[in-house]
Amino acid sequence: MKIEQAYEGSIERKIYSSDQIAATIDRLAARIAADFTGQPLLLLGVLKGALFVVADLSRAVGRVSGGPSEITVDFLCVSSYGNATRSSGEVRVLKDTGEMVTGRNVVVVEDIIDNGLTLDYLRGLLEERKPAVLRTCVLFDKPYHRQADVRLDYVGLQCPDEFVVGYGLDYQELFRNLPYLAQLKPWVFSS
Ligand code: PRP
């Protein structure tokens, strides 16, 4: 049995298909490309969740004519959820950026924003390093439990107030490789 088929027994419903996600990435890429025409751009993904967004977004920006003069991709790795389904509120940097941020045009790329504490923390951390421009891009916006008022520059899709997995998002480190966004069946949490 394929892993995707094995996952299907745990899926309550699909929320966004891979086609819907791809179209959204293209829309975000067009806006980012237009905003950084002729300028170098650093896309800074927040691992682990943003791995697919960055992979797809960086290539989508590259397909837009008249976009940035060059694109650099880097990652930092933070964790605030551990294995829980709600953020602990404590953000831990597990791996910092390799690229210098000072004086660069930086777009921080997230898979999802929920209470906003992760992005709020990262914005503070990165602003101290004096980038030329610092913007935020989130694929899925879950606005129901916000605890920090973070400015979002590029927003993809509204996420329902459910625990969601797929396209980089996990439950206990599983389901990240699902190509679509899905809601899990309740028994998955209680087992
Ligand atoms: C998730 C997600 C964001 C953060 C958003 O990461 O990727 O970074 O939570 O939540 P918040 O807005 O409530 O702070 P997580 O800590 O689960 O780590 P992961 O990306 O490695 O799965």
Cβ-based burial of 139 (10 A; exposed 0-12, middle 13-18, buried ≥19): buried
The predicted-structure confidence for 150-170, as pLDDT tens digits, reads as follows 999 999 999 999 999 999 999
- Tell me, what's the pLDDT at 189? 74
For the whole model, what pTM was predicted? 0.94
∠ CA(75), CA(175), CA(112), 5° rounding?
Answer: 50
Question: Among this protein's residues, is 26 annotated catalytic?
Answer: no
- Give the model's confidence band at 87: pLDDT under 50 very low, under 70 low, under 90 confident, else very high: low
Name the token pair of 64: 């837009």
How far, in Å, is the centroid of ligand 1 from the Cα of 101? 21
Residue of 47, 53, 80 to test ligand 1 pocket, by largest number of atoms within 8 Å of CB = 80
Task: Check whether 52 has a pLDDT greater than 80.
Answer: yes
What are the domain boundaries of the chain?
3-185
- Tell me, what's the pLDDT at 168? 98
The predicted-structure confidence for 105-121, as pLDDT tens digits, reads as follows 999 999 999 999 999 99
What average pLDDT does the chain have?
93
Tell me the C-alpha distance between 27 and 159, whole Å. 17
∠ CA(79), CA(14), CA(150), 5° rounding?
Answer: 40
Residues 123-138, mean pLDDT to the nearest whole number: 97
Higher pLDDT, 135 or 87: 135
What is the CATH number that goes with domain 3-185?
Answer: 3.40.50.2020
Q: Mutual orientation of helices 18-35 and 51-63 as an angle, nearest 10°? A: 60
- Give the model's confidence band at 86: pLDDT under 50 very low, under 70 low, under 90 confident, else very high: low
Residue nearest to atom 3 of ligand 1 (CA): 112
